[in-house]
Structure 1
Amino acid sequence: MSKASSELILNADGSIYHCNIRPEHLADIVITVGDPNRVERVSQHFDTIEHKASKREIVTHTGTYKGTRMTVISTGMGTDNIDIVFSELDALANIDLETGEVKSELRKLSFVRLGTSGALQADIPVDSYVIGSHGLGLDGLLHYYKGSEDVMMPEVEDAFIAHTNWSEKKTRPYLVEASESLMNKLVSNQTKQGITATACGFYGPQGRFLRLEPNPADINEYLTSFSHGDLRITNFEMETSAIYGLAKMMGHEALSLNAIVANRILGEFSKDPYTTVDNMIVYALDRLAL
């Protein structure tokens, strides 16, 4: 069944509505960053840049790094933006934009998020790199899609709900595993691994107290003290769970690599976060190009 024009929205030049690129502009390896300014911090290392596009907070550069074709795209902050960008990139890969029909042969993309995050364990220092072996969604996005239960891990979710006495007024947390193949590429003695928790906001949902008191006020303590088998929650941010869930449901690979710019338990912040992020970018590019 073809998609209605109100569902699959295109610009006048045939590009997809928000991302503003056409299928030929999309590489199989896609690096996602939150900050639009970080796109150039990644693409400055490319050998060549074949295409640039921008619309609102979504900036895209496609080129090659050491001969490997890659696209780097900014998503902005939050799982709502991930829903837009990942849905449109999957459409570019797997829907014929002229007919609106899903292609008979589906294309698999490899998504690698390069982000910043706060550590939730005292032994994870600022300026280190953390790979999310799993994404813990406190945001609710995946519950809006049929079949999302197929990619979730209910046993661990139930243990987390019991541990935190999770309020029934809030959306049910969900857990999705990272891509094994991308884990094998990116893991090294320079990285730490664990569950990356994804919040639906930066302040109250992550336990920050300005004028309004978070509920619960001690959410970080609950996250830090949770464990299930050899799993523990290592860090907190705003995108990973949606990336893992949508990618897995669509048949893509996804991994989230975060530079730790703050340690929420120790109350520390990196003295040079830009250098830490730049070093992480080169680390990821080198391993993706192998």
Structure 2
Amino acid sequence: MQQKLSEADLIINPDGSIYHLNIKPEDLAQTIITVGDPDRISEVSKHFDRIELKKGKREFITHTGYIGQKRITCISTGIGTDNIDIVFNELDALVNIDFNTRLVKSQLTSLDIIRIGTSGAIQPDIPMGTILASSFGLGLDALMQYYIHELSGDEHSILDSFRSDFSHIKGITPYLTAADPTLLNTVGKDMEQGITVTAPGFYAPQGRQVRARNAVPNLINLLNRFKYQNHRITNLEMETAGIYAMAKVLGHKALSVNAILASRVNFQFSSEPGKVVDKAIKMVLEKLV
């Protein structure tokens, strides 16, 4: 017999909304766009024909609306895979747990989740302004040490090769998950593609040095030299691997679309970041509808 989820494991607010996201099951569309920056929500929803819902709590802002007949929810996650853990568990709960009985539903729903985020390229042939779809997410953070995460297909081979090449770096337990193939071949079609590394921070974990000394001073060079067959690491950011892994664990489909704002090997940053992000938003929305 299925056991009810406790009030401590699944926290539901008095108004019937999920704890952090502050939205109810009926507020959520089947197609979801995630962005890191709460201010980017309006940059997505301004393209909606109509908006039916605006809610927010902390860094989690949600707009649900329509483009034509297509219902879309756009939600901000904040920065990092710790927030992805919150967002993806709560998105899943909204569609796959009955809030009245606190039981998992007999028929599960699979969501389509597309991240639109910013990133820095680590290959010299990927210029700023590129819109890149992540074929794989390679996580250097600790999130998936807390979940049972099974590998399949090329994930085994690529991860084994990466572990071998980076075995001299202590304290890293990498994980790897592929993008959903359907979303990669539709929304990600005609985009640059490559392995995206997800770091647990913005500065030293991404090879930046300001004042504090880096334990891995040549991180960017190590990453951009990695290759396995026709796969290479193309860019760095802070959410993709967690999104891919949590989507797979929970049975959802995910794709990360990256607006390349920096060239880490050429030490450049875009002078018009807003235009690059808007380009990525328009590309995704056009392909979704």
The TM-score with structure 2 as length reference comes to 0.96
SS of the aligned residue for 2:103 comes to coil
Deviations 1:223-245 (A, max 9, x none): 10000010000000000000000
What does 1:33-112 align with in structure 2 at a 5 Å threshold? Answer: 33-112=35-114
What does 1:216-255 align with in structure 2 at a 5 Å threshold? Answer: 216-255=216-255
Aligned to 1:179: 180
Relative distance call for 1:228 and 1:150 in structure 2 (3 A) is closer
In 2, Cα distance between the equivalents of 1:71 and 1:151?
30
Report if aligned partners of 1:47, 1:67 keep a CA contact under 8 Å in 2.
Answer: no
Q: CA RMSD in A?
A: 1.1
Report if aligned partners of 1:132, 1:255 keep a CA contact under 8 Å in 2.
Answer: yes
In 2, Cα distance between the equivalents of 1:188 and 1:104?
34
Would you say how many aligned residue pairs link Structure 1 and Structure 2?
Answer: 286
What does 1:96-175 align with in structure 2 at a 5 Å threshold? Answer: 96-146=98-148, 148-150=149-151, 153-168=155-170, 170-175=171-176
Relative distance call for 1:166 and 1:92 in structure 2 (3 A) is farther
Report if aligned partners of 1:125, 1:263 keep a CA contact under 8 Å in 2.
Answer: yes
Shift of 1:279: 1.4
Residue identity in the other structure for 2:40 = R
Deviations 1:249-276 (A, max 9, x none): 1111000000000000111111111011
SS of the aligned residue for 1:279 comes to helix
Shift of 1:157: 1.6
Residue identity in the other structure for 1:97 = F
- Unmatched 5+ residue regions in structure 2? none
Moved over 2 A (4+): 149-155, 164-168
- Unmatched 5+ residue regions in structure 1? none
The TM-score with structure 1 as length reference comes to 0.96
SS of the aligned residue for 1:4 comes to coil
In 2, Cα distance between the equivalents of 1:39 and 1:224?
32
